[in-house]
Amino acid sequence: MSTGAAVVADAVIPAPVELERAEGVLDLRTVTVDAPDGVLARLAGDLLATAGVAVVPASQDLDADPRRREDVSGSGRAAQVVLTPDPAAGPAGSQNPERYTLTVTADGVTVAAPERAGLLHGVRTLRQLINAGRHGAVLLGGSEPGVDEQAGRGETGGPLAVGAVVVRDEPRYPWRGLSLDVVRHWFGPADLRAVVDLVGSYKMNRLHLHLSDDQGWRLEIPSRPALTEKSSQGAVEGAAGGFLSTDEYRELQEYAAEREIVIVPEIDVPGHVNAATHAYGELTPSGEPTDTYDGIEVGFSKLHIGLPGTEPFLRDVFTDVARMTLGPWVHFGGDEVLVMQPEEFGRFVTLCQEIVAGAGKTPVAWQEAAGSAHGDQAAVAALAGEAAVPGAKPGDTGAAEDEAPALVRPGTVLQYWDTRPDPAPFLRAAQAGATFVMSPATRAYLDMKYTPEHPLGQQWAAFVELHDSYDWDPATLIEGLPESAIEGVSAAVWTETLPNRDDLFSMLLPRLAAVAETAWSRPGDKDWESFRSRVAVEAATWRREGARYHPTPQIDW
């Protein structure tokens, strides 16, 4: 009988703050779920059912009369899983709104948390502990009645039981997410719900959708119907497009919100706009719509601040998006505008923040909005066919770095991806009140190939093996950035080379679990060797649920 804490800890991703093993084992073949509301009870039941547990309806009578707690299969009592609001839950002294305590004894399960998110997190942890028992990672010894020792420890045959344990837990960062490109290839509502479930299973709480780009427009905008009428059909290399209707968008957000996940919509401007300029000729200097585009180059398209149609377009689009969005954030892109001078770019950044904030949302933008140009300013000018900024050197922002005022407003969230540029603009932005979500391409871009031989993905930033996406600290990426300016972490997956759900998932898994742990767990609670064994356990769930993953040789599957 092995009941050491280390063995049990080998089930939970992301690694929890505290996990204390106790005596006893709980048979979980059949459970009842008791929660503060019906939606939570259903979600908790669904999560446990994915671990193989039979969930039977709870009723007052079951508690009152033990004889009626016989489970439907007659093999023993239904264990009670009780979700209960409790401000005292979580690690000692914690005020973290997502904290929870999960307590498993031989008599039942309690998940205590001050808020709904913590209650769900506790159930997610329980699901992984059950999964580990089935997979054989937790050796449940003894002769507990109802636990069949001979059941075996295969994918589905292991005991549906969990050793007694107390988990007290909370996240390191409030923003733990995935950024998903649904433009280069289209992923519809069913795929998106699967992604929401996946993100949630690792206690991530943001799904950022990249909804517009050169190749397509993926969200119905009531005031600008041509965007989806004319520009939603295409994708990369002639693949089929699609878009979310306003109803589908609302339903997706509600599905995510039930799971405590906020959808963050991105409409990417002032670059990555060919789908917009194809739909509305008034956005181009000639007045003629641009052709459709199904290649994978970036950086060539742009809006024009001086055209009379531009600002009304931005106001219409961002006002509609803000109105349709349940969460507090709207992302306006701002990345890789390789054909625009810094002065015009700065005016777009200022305008978009003003529109988004005026519509009641917090603006989010890629790091370029801090005022640093992407890459080499001279190359930018050359691409634009314009004279280089006088005196510009590679890496220049085109402005005097030390004196230039920050472009960002207080509260704007910047998404950091390019690990090359100089930290000065980011420090200035932080001083102006911006916060940062870390998506370093060399670690968190899950469209990067795992290895040079990997058949899918790109390689412009790095090869990103599982260990690379695990072994980094968001707090040390930008030298001098105060910890208080770090909002969190987002993995990102661009889909130029990923035409379907299987290919997408094989890039996400197992690396998404690594990024999730980097976002949730403190550096001292992270451990690569432990993570390796926990991933191998978690993979049993992926196989059972038919989720494709990449069997990297870094794990003993």
Active site residues: 336
DSSP conformation class of 477: S
Of 92, 86, 223, 69, nearest to 146 (Cα)? 69
From the CB of 366, what's the least distance to ligand TNX, in Å? Answer: 5
* Residues in Cβ contact with 268 at an 8 Å cutoff, skipping those fewer than 6 apart: 210, 212, 213, 332, 333, 334, 335
User: With binding defined as CB under 6 A, does residue 249 bind ligand TNX?
Assistant: no
User: With binding defined as CB under 6 A, does residue 505 bind ligand TNX?
Assistant: no
Of 54, 62, 5, 66, nearest to 27 (Cα)? 54
511-550 positions binding ligand TNX, by CB under 6 A: none
User: With binding defined as CB under 6 A, does residue 335 bind ligand TNX?
Assistant: yes
Residue placing its CB nearer to ligand TNX in the complex, 71 or 181: 181
For residue 474, say if its preceding peptide bond is cis, omega within 30 degrees of 0.
Answer: no
From the CB of 272, what's the least distance to ligand TNX, in Å? Answer: 6
Angle at the Cα of 113 from the Cα atoms of 129 and 38, rounded to 5 degrees: 85
Contact flags string 5-44 toward ligand TNX, x per CB under 6 A: ----------------------------------------
Of 328, 360, 13, 324, nearest to 199 (Cα)? 13
Angle between the N-to-C axes of helices 310-324 and 342-358, in degrees from 0 to 180, rounded to the nearest 10: 40
Burial 123-141 (b: 16+ CB within 10 A, else e): bbbbbbbbbbbbbbbbebe
Cα distance between residue 116 and residue 199, in whole Å: 17
From the CB of 335, what's the least distance to ligand TNX, in Å? Answer: 3
Residue placing its CB nearer to ligand TNX in the complex, 366 or 436: 366
SS3 per residue for 43-83:
HHHHHHHHCCCEECCCCHHHHHCHHHHECCCCCCECEEEEE
Residue placing its CB nearer to ligand TNX in the complex, 272 or 278: 272
Cα Rg for the chain, rounded, in angstroms? 25
* Residues in Cβ contact with 293 at an 8 Å cutoff, skipping those fewer than 6 apart: 214, 215, 234, 274, 278, 301
From the CB of 417, what's the least distance to ligand TNX, in Å? Answer: 5
Token pair belonging to 127: 């699901």
Tell me which of 71, 98, 336, 525 binds ligand TNX, using CB under 6 A: 336
Cα distance between residue 89 and residue 100, in whole Å: 5
User: With binding defined as CB under 6 A, does residue 71 bind ligand TNX?
Assistant: no
User: With binding defined as CB under 6 A, does residue 267 bind ligand TNX?
Assistant: no
Of 180, 266, 213, nearest to 493 (Cα)? 180
Residue placing its CB nearer to ligand TNX in the complex, 118 or 440: 440
Residue 489: strand pairing partners: 176, 438
Residue placing its CB nearer to ligand TNX in the complex, 128 or 439: 439
Tell me which of 130, 262, 298, 352 binds ligand TNX, using CB under 6 A: 298
User: With binding defined as CB under 6 A, does residue 220 bind ligand TNX?
Assistant: no
Burial 5-39 (b: 16+ CB within 10 A, else e): eebbbbbbbbbbbbbebeeebbbbbbbbbbbeeee
Tell me which of 494, 505, 531, 549 binds ligand TNX, using CB under 6 A: 494
Cα distance between residue 457 and residue 450, in whole Å: 8
Residue placing its CB nearer to ligand TNX in the complex, 10 or 335: 335
Amino acid at 30: T
User: With binding defined as CB under 6 A, does residue 458 bind ligand TNX?
Assistant: yes
Contact flags string 401-440 toward ligand TNX, x per CB under 6 A: ----------------x-----------------------
Contact flags string 351-390 toward ligand TNX, x per CB under 6 A: ---------------x------------------------
From the CB of 458, what's the least distance to ligand TNX, in Å? Answer: 5
Residue placing its CB nearer to ligand TNX in the complex, 113 or 298: 298
Size of the site for ligand TNX (CB under 6 A): 10
Q: Is 121 exposed, middle or buried, given 0-12, 13-18 or 19+ CB atoms closer than 10 A?
A: buried
From the CB of 4, what's the least distance to ligand TNX, in Å? Answer: 43
From the CB of 190, what's the least distance to ligand TNX, in Å? Answer: 23
Tell me which of 98, 320, 447, 538 binds ligand TNX, using CB under 6 A: 447
Residue placing its CB nearer to ligand TNX in the complex, 56 or 380: 380
Cα distance between residue 527 and residue 516, in whole Å: 13
C-beta neighbour count of 439 within 10 angstroms? 27
From the CB of 155, what's the least distance to ligand TNX, in Å? Answer: 34
From the CB of 498, what's the least distance to ligand TNX, in Å? Answer: 11
150-179 positions binding ligand TNX, by CB under 6 A: none
Residue placing its CB nearer to ligand TNX in the complex, 293 or 417: 417
Which positions touch ligand TNX (CB under 6 A)? Answer: 181, 298, 335-336, 366, 417, 447, 458, 494, 496
